[in-house]
Amino acid sequence: MDCLFCKIVAGDVPAEVLHTTERTVAFRDVDPQAPTHVLVVPREHFANAAELAAGDPEASAELVRTAAAVAAAEGHPDDYRLVLNTGAGAGQTVFHTHLHVLAGRELAWPPG
């Protein structure tokens, strides 16, 4: 499989890994959109959030738990945004489920 995030999980592509669990890996986004911009991915490959929820619901919950731990470790335990893009039309560019953790600045609504 030629998936960038699978390669990061495997350690074949370098990334600034901040947190790992049995099911997840969290690393800094290479194109940050906020002072804190971290991606949380499941270790197992699922193309999008819906596939992950159907295939491993516990990993879906673990993504959110990992995101909360990362936000707290980065100094933002109470104010952060979580974003899951599903499909190219919604802005997904890497088709391995990934949860964006954004914090450290005022985040406008609606996004995008």
Q: Which long-range contacts (CB under 8 A, 24 or more apart) does 44-53 make?
A: 45/1, 45/3, 45/5, 45/6, 45/96, 46/96, 46/97, 47/95, 47/96, 47/97, 48/86, 48/87, 48/92, 48/95, 48/97, 49/84, 49/86, 49/97, 50/86, 51/97, 52/97
Is there a domain that residue 111 lies in?
no
Is there a domain that residue 14 lies in?
yes
> Which of 37, 76, 98, 100 does the annotation list as catalytic?
98
| Number of domains observed in the structure of the chain | 1
Q: Verify whether residue 98 is a known catalytic residue.
A: yes
Is there a domain that residue 97 lies in?
yes
pLDDT in tens, 73-84: 999 999 999 999
Q: Residue 94 belongs to a domain with what CATH number?
A: 3.30.428.10
pLDDT in tens, 19-46: 999 999 999 999 999 999 999 999 999 9
Q: Supply the range of the domain harboring residue 90.
A: 4-103
